[in-house]
Structures are given as structure tokens and as C-alpha cells.
Chains A and B, each alone.
Chain A
Amino acid sequence: MELNGKKVIYADNAATTSVSPAVLDAMLPFYKEFYGNPSSLYSVGNAAKKPLEDARAVVAKCLGALPNEIYFTSGGSESDNWAIKGAAHKMLKQGKNHIITTKFEHHAVLHTCAALEKEGFTVTYLDVHENGIVVPEELEAAITEKTALVTVMYANNEIGTIQPISEIGAICKKHGVLFHTDAVQAVGNVHINVKEQNIDMLFLSGHKLHAPKGVGALYIRRGLVLPNLIDGGAQERSRRAGTENVAGIVGLAKAMEIAHETMDEKNLKLRRMQDKLITEILKIDRSRLNGDREKRLPGNISFCFEGIEGESLLLMLDMKGVCASSGSACTSGSLDPSHVLLAIGLRHEVAHGSLRLSFSDVNEESDVDYIIEVLPQIVERLRAMSPLWDAIIHGKEIN
């Protein structure tokens, strides 16, 4: 990719992705020709109705769901707010006021749980241990007769670890507890089947898989009726009113279709790139890979480098044309480094030196080669001016 005539390697696909040309092509007719309201009777509007329902069928098929179990939304945060708050309020009527989640969920889930705590719900935050994976037995032990809902992410956004979703689904089914999962990072990268995995609610976001921003979906198992999110017209079975984002929805379905058709081949390539990058970068002294080496998304890699700070690392990578992200405090706008890195037991000073590189099928193997070339030099340069590194290598007392 080029930006202002400079070569740019985009390695932040877990943050967002480019809209793929095929997705854009699928969307354009719904801006140019079939721009009518799908609820209208005349042909310009009606012509959008079938593609909308076709899109629902495609999304459902990719998840192993039924079309009428798919609700289109504006994206991840809206979806999980609807699912978690809706399910919690519904179950409260049956006297259940306890929620189980993990310490390293996305803030869209954690802050939703915190809002429910203010209302009087009790929330258990499960440990994710050094490898960044929930232990199903610990989850089962946390279930009480008051437990309304379990919400565990499918795969973590910062460190890429994949959770034992099938095991958790079986446990929730056994105990009659609702199971909700944040599949924003997982969809398009792992094979999901909501029926086989006993998932009651699952949400996804278009812009993580080469569809546009502002469109997502929530799967709600048939028979589970949540309170309406938006009252109004009859769109989305009257549960989420508002004229549909037809072009966005068509784009989302196209992106999911492509991702599912190409997933196995793409993952082979991404795994190769991941293995090479991890092997080469861990040759750097006092570097570490965050999260389990095997049970991780093929495109997500998170490192920490002792003695340096993540924002400086990102700025220097940017000067070399590499776009990446970090869980350091300085990039989060707070003083604490990422809650995810702290949840896997990293000390503050180590978590400050984190780097996440995330790839998708638009990346080339040469991108990894370039990063392997420039990253060690940058780490060395920052360490050369770091009093913390000086203290670490000379065994001095650190503040």
C-alpha cells in the first residue's frame, strides 16, 4: 500500500481492515441504483428487500444459524450492549442477577458489565492465566443458581488467544445458563457453528473482515426473546427499528462469504507468516510472545520488549512505514497499560513495551520480512537511550 508516495505496511488489521474491492463492488449498486427503502412497494425500494434477506441467509450460513436468528446492527458495541443488558434484564425477572465474564474482554463488554454492576448485578471476572485462556473448570465452578449469563470472547483482540468456546457452551447448556460470545476477532478466521457449540448469542463486526465500518450483526438463538433495542418500525423483526443500512449489510455478507470460502487457504499463509515472525523476533534479547503459542488467531501476534515503551516503538515503526498498535499506557490515554496484558500477569513496566502486529489476507509474506529487518534495529535504538534497559542489563535497582 502507498500513502503520499511512501510504502506503507498495514499491520493493524485487528483494529480495522480495508474494504475489499469485491465488497465495495457488491455494495455500490445499493447506493447508485437500488437506493430505495426496502420497506417500500415500488421497485426501486423493493429491489433492495431480497438482497437484504439474501445477506441475512449468508451471514446465518457462515455461523451455522438460521436466517431469522440474525439481527443486523451498527457493529460490535451496539450488539453486545443489546445482548448482555437485554439478557441480564430478562433473567433478572427470574431472580437471576449474576454474570460471569473474563478479565480480558473488550471494553465494549467489560464496561457493559460494569454498568450492570451499578444496577445491582454481581459480576465474576475469570482469570485468563499466563497463556491468555480461560479454564472451563473454573468457569463451571463460578456458576451459581443466580447465574443469568456467561459472556466470554471467542478470541482476544490484543493477544489473539482463542478460548475453549465449545467446552464453555456445553457447560452453560448443562447448567441452563445463557452463553454469549464476542466473536468480533474470530469471525472469518475460525470455523464457527453456533448450534454445535451451544452459543445463545454471538456478535460480529463488519470492519474487522474487510466490510465497512458501521455494520455488524447479532445472532440470537431462536426462542430467546430479548427486549427490543430500538422501538419503531418493523425492521429486524421489530426488535431493532430503523431503515436498514442495505449497502453495509450487503457488504458484510459479501465479506463473510469471501472469508469463509478462503479461510483455510488464507490461514495457512498467515500461520506461515506468524511462525516466521515469532521465531525471528523472539531472537531479540528479553522479548516475549503474549498469549498461547498455538491456540491463537493466525493473523494476531503480540510481543513485549523489556526496557522500552510502546508508543515510542509505534512512532519509530511508523517512520519506517509500518502501522501497528500497542497496549502501552501512553497509547491508551491512561496511566495504566492494557488490562489484557495485566490480566495475563505482566508487570506494568513489561506491559508498557508491548507491540501488536495483526495481518489479514491483503498482507504479503514480504511484509513480515521487512518487519523482521526493521524491528530489531528500532528496539536496539530505543534501548540504547533507556535508563530502564541500562538498569535491567546491569542488574541495578529500578524505581
Chain B
Amino acid sequence: MAYSEKVMEHFANPRNVGEMEDPSGVGEVGNSKCGDIMRMYIKVEGDVITDVKFMTFGCGAAIATSSMATELVKGKTIKEALTLTNKAVMEALDGLPAVKVHCSVLAEQAIKAAVSDYYTRQGIDPVSIVGVLEECEDCHDVEEE
């Protein structure tokens, strides 16, 4: 298994890493048992995501996909951010090894979880806008052990 140069570059120099003071929304996905947790903070002004921060516990791909996802949604409208797919994150990183695809899924879900939390804080039911965030199937298997 080898990572692309882009993955290694984002892993070595992650963008938008850290906590955020007074975020508009926070989303956390994954679990410690599986070895991946991603937490995304967003700051929303109007309908634009003006700032994003992440914190990730996980492998090189987990950190790189988190970093790339923050770059891809920063400055975008919420509507645009919700169209972010794991595939787009992978492509932007010049691909991921097959066993690491789930990291990109987590990155997509972390963004959606943060947007859901933003709507919830606004008193708006997020389900009709963001949809139901599904548990990572792999993680589910582990929990059922």
C-alpha cells in the first residue's frame, strides 16, 4: 500500500487543523474502536461556510481526507458543501488505496454532520435537507462483535 504524494503532503501539512471558538456547527463521525474519529467545525455567515476546522484521530488517509474536505468546502455555500462526495475528496487527493476508501466516506459524513448540527442549532430539522447520516457499515460490524 502506498499513498499518493498529495495524500502525504496533506498528511504532513494538514490544512485547517485545530479547534474552533464559537462554531456555527460541529459534527463528529467514526468511533475509537475502529480507529477513526473525525470532528468538523464550521462557521456559517449568511449561507456561506466562512471557516472550517477539523480534528482527527486516525491513520494517514483519515488525516489527509479531513484536510482535503475542509479545503473543498471552505468559502462555499452550505448547498454546495452538501454536494461534496467522498469520490471528489479521493480525486482531489489523486486517489486512495482500496482499504482506505472508508476514510473519504468519513470525511464526507463529517461535513454533513457539521451542517446538520448547524441546522439543529437554528431550530431547523436537518433530516429533510441533509438526509439521515448512515453509520459506516464496517464500523457497525465491529460494534456488533
Chain A: residues with CB nearer than 8 A to chain B?
307-309, 311-312, 315, 319, 328-330, 333, 335-337, 348-349, 352, 384-390, 398-399
User: Per-residue CB proximity of B36-62 to A under 8 Å, as 1/0?
Assistant: 111100000000000000111111111
The 7 closest A-B pairs by CB, nearest first: A349-B32, A330-B59, A311-B59, A388-B57, A399-B31, A352-B35, A386-B57
The answer, among A311, A335, A390, for a CB contact under 8 Å with B34, is A335
**Which residues on the A side are within 8 Å of B36 (C-beta)?**
309
**Are B11 and A309 interface neighbours, CB within 8 A?**
no
Of the listed stretches B12-20, B72-80, B81-89, B122-130, chain A binds B12-20
How far is A224 from B39 in the complex, measured between Cα atoms in Å?
60
How far is A312 from B56 in the complex, measured between Cα atoms in Å?
11
**Which residues on the A side are within 8 Å of B61 (C-beta)?**
330
Q: Given known contacts A335-B138, A336-B142, A385-B63, is B58 in contact with A309 (CB within 8 Å)? A: yes
The residue on B at minimum CB distance from A329 is B35
**Are B31 and A312 interface neighbours, CB within 8 A?**
no
Chain B: residues with CB nearer than 8 A to chain A?
1, 8, 11-12, 14, 17-19, 28, 30-39, 54-63, 99, 138-139, 141-142
**Are A309 and B12 interface neighbours, CB within 8 A?**
no
**Are B18 and A349 interface neighbours, CB within 8 A?**
no
Give, as a whole number of angstroms, the nearest-CB distance from B134 to chain A. 15
The answer, among B34, B35, B56, B141, for a CB contact under 8 Å with A387, is B56
The residue on A at minimum CB distance from B102 is A335
**Which residues on the A side are within 8 Å of B39 (C-beta)?**
387
How far is A348 from B58 in the complex, measured between Cα atoms in Å?
13
How far is A125 from B34 in the complex, measured between Cα atoms in Å?
25
**Which residues on the B side are within 8 Å of A399 (C-beta)?**
28, 30-32, 37
**Which residues on the B side are within 8 Å of A309 (C-beta)?**
35-36, 57-59, 62
**Are A387 and B55 interface neighbours, CB within 8 A?**
yes
Give, as a whole number of angstroms, the nearest-CB distance from B5 to chain A. 13
**Which residues on the B side are within 8 Å of A352 (C-beta)?**
32, 35
**Are B59 and A388 interface neighbours, CB within 8 A?**
no
Most buried by A among B8, B12, B58, B141: B58
How far is A398 from B57 in the complex, measured between Cα atoms in Å?
12
